[in-house]
A and B are shown apart, each in its own frame.
Chain A
Amino acid sequence: MLNFLARRILQLIPTLFFVSVLIFSLQHLLPGDPALVMAGEERDPNVIAHIRAQYRLDQPIPVQYVYWLKGVLSGDFGESLRIKVPVLELIRQKLPVTMQLASMAIVIALLIGIPAGIVSAVKRGSAWDYGANLFALWGISTPNFWLGIMLIFLFSIELGWLPASGYVPLSENWRASLASTIMPAFVLGNAIAAILMRHTRSAMLQVLESDYVRTARAKGLSERVVILKHAMRNALTPVITLGALELGTLLSGAVLTEQIFSIPGFGKLIVDAVFNRDYAVVQGVVLVTATIYITLNLIADVAYILVNPRLRA
């Protein structure tokens, strides 16, 4: 196990290196000169030259990369060109907002996806199964920004139950906070619920055909005990780890969902940064996102082995 963990962590280093190169080179694909953007209205050549020197834009690209990487490794992601705030500070402010949204989305996805998957596997071929599969197709095929707009129309404009946009922090007023995040969380959770339902269904179908389930039934255990205690435990193990991998979907989804509901989170930060040509913010956000994603992948891998004794050898 320790060997596996060490090997897996060692593998991360080249991946993270390539991620950093990829992210850094994005800046140099960008049309326009960052020094000109920073200089703003002032086109004084002296100012521009000063900015170039200050941000080392006059150095060769590999040298710039090394300086950038050195900064990143010591926790310095640079500063937003627009609002002159350290990128790390921006990330620290916005990440909790998206985390709240993401956690709520996962809870919603688990609450819908897993029961739907179990029911559709147990009642295979029934109207329930049919309905659950339709739900999964709906979840996978609905663009989340459209769903968001339609929910705003129904619950904010027509019924007036929920605020159409804005965000209230959890620490300020938990009721208002939940009201401001429930719609976007549902939009995000909907797609993941569909994927979880499909995973759960196929895992349950496989387990229900296995010998030990047949033995449990032959022992005379009630169907309820067989399904809830024997089958579900084994079926859900791969589902949970597969679910962890859907976090990338969640982060992608947050970009548009936060845009529609005007929620000042991670997704909105990156869109605004892209439009403002705020290079340092784009780089920092993508790097942090990729690192979170890679780490979650690692945790999922390790968790899978930990809960599956057959793989532990």
Chain B
Amino acid sequence: MENLLQQLVNGVAWGSIYALVALGYTMVYGVLKLINFAHGEVYMVGAMTGYYTARALGFAQEPSGLGLAVVLLAAMATCAALGATIERVAYRPLRHAPRLAPLITAIGVSLLLQNAGQLLLGADPKFFPPLVASREALRFGALAVSNIQLTVLATAVVLMAGLELVVMRTRVGRAMRAVAQDADAAALMGVPVDRIIQLTFLLGSALAGAAGILVGLSNPKIDPLMGLMPGLKAFVAAVLGGIGSIPGAMLGGLLLGVVETLVAGYLSSTYRDAIAFVILIAILLYRPSGLFGAAQQEKV
């Protein structure tokens, strides 16, 4: 029983990182109907930015709340800029091209970032500086929850709440929802579609950057190839929750984290990565709109 509870705790903490990355996917897919394959690499850039910023500003030696805040902001800003650039350079020219072209371009950008990362930053794994001292925060018998796991969960929740606020309660958010629903109609209503799409990328990428910092805190080994698998799995999480739905992405991420952890713990870690895809296929077959998505009508 203790084992199970521990696995659940692990799964939720791990899943909150998927949730943050999934948000970026779901938002971009909502407005562009595009799977942004390069999103996983944006997450990697976030972690790397955090690493170099912490070292440059001298936060690497000891844990500090200020250090965490600064590094988080730096990573989010850098990733926002990166995301917007990718959109402008690689996706916008292909807005009206056949469906496969932007998908291929996204893959190209992903490969480019991975290999450039290896070349410029070195292929060796780096140790993310301990900006938060690792301590046991809670203990119930054998069940151990570290303060880092709590920090990760708390930060993720705050960011997600913030995003939900922006999307549901502001004009800009309304514009984003309009573009996601019907870009042409939104344009006719005077919504600056291009700028809204850029903003979507900006926000989604900033969240991915934050995820990169959080994963650096809880699993402090980072390297240029770290974004590939988590990126794909975060997409699965987005689909699980209902692509285009923000609460869906959050729930999907947490759920995926828990399932993955349980499978790795009770069945075999061999299937840890595979289970995400099994879930994807099952969801797409039996409930393609995901947990929270609206059922899509196929227009003839």
A binds B: no
Binding site for A on B (CB under 8 A): none
Binding site for B on A (CB under 8 A): none
